[in-house]
């Protein structure tokens, strides 16, 4: 990420270190992780407002993300969910199965990359250590675990962003935040229409067949470190 406020970045790093500490309990980790994603979202909104007040030019970019197997479709669902929360548009190109194009403001796309890359790493590591109940089909358990994880994490990101947005709204006067976010949405939509004048919306549907796997994945999603590793760093997890 670029141009992060040092004070904000230091606070997030401290929370991440606490979340990663083996001595931290699961209950503590869940609370810490909610704070991490809340701070990322709040900074994103406030940074947008500051740039708007400074009359900085809006830079909307189109970024391709590789979502390779295993679980390429589930990775696309996770990436798309995060992108929409951060006022960006995920596009699945026709005829290209393992790519999602994210169109959004440059700083938002950077945050999307950070969160997505970390969550994919946690997803794969979590599945590797998940305990499969006796007599449960392995492939069915794994697929359902991934679905539970992605669904739960996506919900947590949406909730945390909404809470950050409400707090920013309550701390400012007038409807400045709404106008800024709306103008960003307009700029993103213009870029989408420019690059994809004929766009067919395709919904990705994923069901699960194993309740034990889904429940275990959902529990892992609740404890996932949203925003973990690493503020200011680059990650290669998106192709994993």
Q: What is the pLDDT of residue 104?
A: 96
pTM of the predicted model, to two decimals? 0.75
Helix H or strand E segment including 169: helix 138-171
Judge whether residue 237 has pLDDT over 50: no
At how many degrees (to 10) do helices 211-223 and 138-171 cross? 40
Q: What is the mean pLDDT of the chain?
A: 78
User: pLDDT (tens digit, 9 = 90+) per residue, 207-235?
Assistant: 444 555 556 656 665 656 554 333 333 34
Three-class SS of residue 63? strand
Q: How far is CA 117 from CA 124, 174, 205, in A?
A: 11, 36, 22
| d(C-alpha 204, C-alpha 76), whole Å | 9
Q: HSE-up of 171 (CA within 13 Å, CB side)?
A: 10
Q: What is the pLDDT of residue 187?
A: 92
**Domain map of the chain by residue range?**
6-239
User: Which 8-state DSSP code applies to residue 201?
Assistant: -
Q: Confidence class of residue 72 from pLDDT cuts 50, 70 and 90? A: very high
CB-based contact 66:92 (threshold 8 Å): no
Q: What is the pLDDT of residue 175?
A: 63
């Amino acid at each position: 990420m670029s141009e992060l406020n040092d004070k904000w970045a230091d606070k997030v790093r401290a929370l991440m270190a606490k979340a990663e500490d083996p001595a931290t309990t699961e209950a503590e980790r869940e609370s810490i992780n909610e704070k991490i994603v809340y701070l990322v979202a709040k900074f994103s909104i406030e940074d947008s407002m500051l740039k708007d007040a400074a009359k900085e030019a809006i830079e909307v970019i189109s970024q391709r993300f590789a979502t390779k197997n295993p679980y390429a479709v589930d990775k696309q669902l996770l990436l798309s969910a995060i992108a929409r929360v951060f006022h960006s548009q995920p596009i699945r190109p026709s005829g290209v199965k393992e790519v999602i194009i994210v169109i959004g403001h440059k700083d938002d796309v950077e945050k999307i990359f950070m969160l997505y890359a970390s969550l994919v790493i946690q997803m794969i590591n979590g599945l590797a250590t998940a305990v499969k109940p006796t007599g449960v089909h392995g492939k069915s358990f794994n697929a359902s675990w991934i679905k539970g994880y992605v669904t739960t994490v996506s919900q947590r990101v949406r909730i945390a962003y909404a809470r950050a947005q409400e707090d920013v709204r309550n701390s400012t006067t007038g409807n400045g935040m709404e106008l800024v976010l709306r103008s960003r949405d307009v700029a993103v939509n213009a870029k989408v229409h420019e690059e994809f004048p004929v766009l067919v919306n395709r919904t990705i549907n994923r069901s699960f067949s194993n309740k034990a796997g889904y429940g275990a994945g959902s529990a892992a999603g609740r404890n996932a470190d949203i925003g973990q590793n690493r503020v200011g760093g680059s990650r290669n997890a998106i192709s994993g």
